[in-house]
Structure 1
Amino acid sequence: MENRDLIKLFDSIRKNKGLIKVPQSLQKNKILYDVIRSYQLDCFERASNEFLNFESNSDKIEKDIFFKNSCKLLRIFFPDSIFYYYKRNEETGGYELFFSEVQNNEIITSIEEALVEGILELVSSSQEIRSFENIYYLEKKTYLTPFPLILNNEKIGIFIAICEKKASINIDILFIFERLMQILATNINAIQLNDQLTKKKNTLSLFIDVTENISYIKTIDENIKGIILALQKAINCNLTGIILVDKNGQLFFKYVSKDLYNYIIKHKWSFGKDIFSECIEKNISFNITDMHKSRLYSKTFTIVSDQLKSFLVYPLKAVNFVGCFFAGRLINEPSLGHEEYDIVMTMIKNLSIFLNNIALYDEIKINYELTTAALASAIEAKDPYTKGHSQRVMRYSLLIGKNFGLNESALRTIRLAAMLHDIGKIGIPEAIILKRGPLNEYEYKIMKKHPYIGYTIIKNIKYLSAGFPFVLYHHEKLNGSGYPFGLKSEKIPLFARIAAVADSFDALTSDRPYRKGLSFADAILEMQKYSGIYFDKQLVDILIKTLKS
Structure 2
Amino acid sequence: MMYMENVLAEFDQTPDALELMGQLAEEFSLDQLDNWTTTTGLIQSAISFAGKAFPSYEMRIFYHETELHEYREIDREGVATIPDDSLFAGCLSMISEPTDLSRLFSDFQINAPMLEHVLFTLYHAHTIVPVVHRFDLLAFLLLCDKPQEKHEDLSQEDLSLLKQLTDRLTINLYAASVADQRLRELLHMAQYPRSLQHHRTITELYNNLMKDLVKEIPFDAGICYAYDEELNQLVPFNKKGIRNAKILKPGQGISGQVFESRLPLYIPDRLSNPAYALMEEEPFIEGSAICVPVSTDKTMLGVVTLIRNPENPEPFGMEHRYMLEIASAFTASEITNRQLYTRLDESNFNIVESLTRALEAKDSYTEGHSTRVTRHAEGIARELGYKEEKIHQLRYGAMLHDIGKIGIPDAIINKAASLTEDEYAEIKTHTEIGYNIVCNNPFFKSISTFIRYHHETINGKGYYGLQGNEIPEEAMIISAADIFDALTSDRPYRKALSIKESVVELKKQTGVHYTKEIFEAFMRYLKKNYPADFS
Normalising by structure 2, what TM-score? 0.64
Note the aligned Cα RMSD (angstroms).
4.4
Deviation at 1:407, TM superposition (A): 1.8
2:205 corresponds, among 197, 220, 223, to 223
User: Partners of 1:306 and 1:184 in 2: how far apart?
Assistant: 44
State which of 400, 405, 411 in structure 2 corresponds to 1:425: 405
Residue 532 of structure 1 is aligned with which of 490, 511, 514? 511
> What is the distance in 1 between the residues matched to 2:300 and 2:391?
27
Corresponding residue for residue 473 of structure 2: 494
Distance across 1 between alignment mates of 2:184 and 2:320: 14
Q: Deviations over 1:136-165 (max 9, x none)?
A: xxxxxxxxxxxxxxxxxxxxxxxxxxxxxx
Matching residue of 2:371: 391
User: Per-residue deviation at 1:411?
Assistant: 1.9
CA distance in 2, matches of 1:412, 1:513: 33
Inter-partner Cα distance in structure 1 for 2:247 and 2:91: 48
Aligned to 1:503: 482
Distance in 1 separating the partners of 2:133 and 2:282: 29
Runs of 4 or more above 6 Å deviation:
27-31, 64-68, 98-101, 173-178
> 1:287: which partner in 2?
266
Amino acid at match of 2:467: K
CA shift in 2, pair 1:364/1:177, >3 Å: farther
**Partners of 1:356 and 1:194 in 2: how far apart?**
37
- Of 201, 216, 236, the residue aligned with 2:218 is 236
Residue of structure 1 equivalent to 2:167: 184
Alpha-carbon spacing, 1:228–1:189, altered in 2? closer, same or farther (3 Å): farther
The one-letter amino acid of 1:313's match is C
Shift of residue 350, structure 1, vs aligned partner: 0.2
For 1:538, the aligned partner's letter is E
In the aligned structure 2, how far is the partner of 1:307 from the partner of 1:212? Answer: 27
Match 1:416 to one of 386, 396, 412: 396
Q: Does structure 2 retain, via aligned residues, the 8 Å contact 1:203–1:234? A: no
Query: 1:280–1:322: 8 Å Cα contact kept in structure 2?
Result: no
Deviation sequence 1:465-497 (CA, Å, 0-9, x none) = 3322221111122233222x3322221111112
1:60 Cα deviation (Å)? 6.1
Which residue identity lines up with residue 487 of structure 1 in the other structure? Answer: L
Residues in 2 aligned to 1:275 and 1:99: alpha-carbon distance in whole angstroms: 38
Deviation at 1:298, TM superposition (A): 3.4
Residues 55/454 of structure 1: CA separation in 2 closer, same or farther (3 Å cut): closer
* 1:119-158 correspondence to structure 2 within 5 Å: none
Give the equivalent residue in structure 1 for 2:422: 442
CA deviation after TM superposition for structure 1 residue 347, in Å: 1.0
Alignment of 1:301-340 (within 5 A): 301-305=279-283, 308-318=286-296, 321-331=300-310, 333-340=313-320
Check 1:367–1:67 CA distance in 2 against 1; reply closer, same or farther (3 A cut): farther
Checking the alignment, whether the CA contact within 8 Å between 2:489 and 2:496 is kept in structure 1 is yes
Q: 2:468 & 2:456 partners in 1: Cα distance?
A: 9
Superposition map of 1:25-424 within 5 A? 57=73, 180-201=163-184, 203-205=186-188, 207-208=190-191, 211-215=194-198, 217-220=200-203, 222-246=204-228, 247-258=230-241, 260-261=242-243, 267-272=246-251, 275-291=254-270, 294-295=273-274, 297-298=275-276, 301-305=279-283, 308-318=286-296, 321-331=300-310, 333-424=313-404
- Contact preservation (8 Å) 1:210, 1:230: no
Q: What's the CA shift for 1:354?
A: 0.7
* Distance of aligned partners of 1:509 and 1:288 in 2 relative to their CA distance in 1, 3 Å threshold: closer
- 2: distance between equivalents of 1:282 and 1:99? 42
- Residue 389 (structure 1) shift: 2.0
Equivalent residue pairs, number? 409
Number of the residue aligned with 1:134: none
Cα deviation for residue 302 of structure 1 reads 2.4
2:432 to 452, 465, 472: 452
Kindly state the Cα deviation for residue 449 of structure 1 after the two structures are TM-superposed. Answer: 1.4
Relative distance call for 1:278 and 1:216 in structure 2 (3 A) is same
Distance 1:459 1:311, change over 3 A: same
Question: What is the CA distance between 1:367 and its match in structure 2?
Answer: 0.6
Runs of at least 5 residues in structure 2 that lack an aligned partner in the other structure: 1-15, 24-49, 55-60, 65-69, 74-80, 98-131, 136-155, 528-533
SS in structure 1 at match of 2:276: helix
Residue 477 of structure 2 aligns to which amino acid in structure 1?
Answer: I
Q: SS state of the match for residue 217, structure 1?
A: coil
Letter in 2 for 1:387: E
Residue 183 of structure 1 aligns to a residue whose secondary structure is helix
Sequence identity (%)? 26
Q: CA deviation at 1:459?
A: 3.0
Q: Residues 236 and 450 from structure 1, CA distance in 2 versus in 1: closer, same or farther, beyond 3 angstroms?
A: same
**1:541 and 1:337, CA in 2 relative to 1: closer, same or farther beyond 3 A?**
closer
Distance 1:335 1:488, change over 3 A: closer
Report how far residue 335 of structure 1 moved: 3.8
2:191 partner amino acid: I
Contact persistence 2:252–2:281 (CA under 8 A): no
Deviations 1:365-409 (A, max 9, x none): 221221122122112201111123223322332333222222222
The one-letter amino acid of 2:302's match is G
2:418 match: secondary structure: coil
Q: Name the SS for the 2:490 alignment partner.
A: coil
Tell me, in whole angstroms, the C-alpha distance in 2 between the residues paired with 1:175 and 1:327: 51
Check conservation: 1:56, 1:187, Cα contact below 8 A: no
Post-superposition CA distance 1:421-469 (Å, at most 9, x none): 1111122111111111111112112211111222233334444333222
Matched residue of 1:540: which SS?
helix
Q: Tell me how far apart the structure 2 counterparts of residues 388 and 443 of structure 1 sit (CA, whole Å).
A: 24
Following superposition, the deviation at residue 321 of structure 1 comes to 4.7
CA distance in structure 2 between the partners assigned to 1:500 and 1:486 by the alignment: 15
Q: In structure 1, what is the Cα distance between the partners aligned to 2:455 and 2:480? A: 9
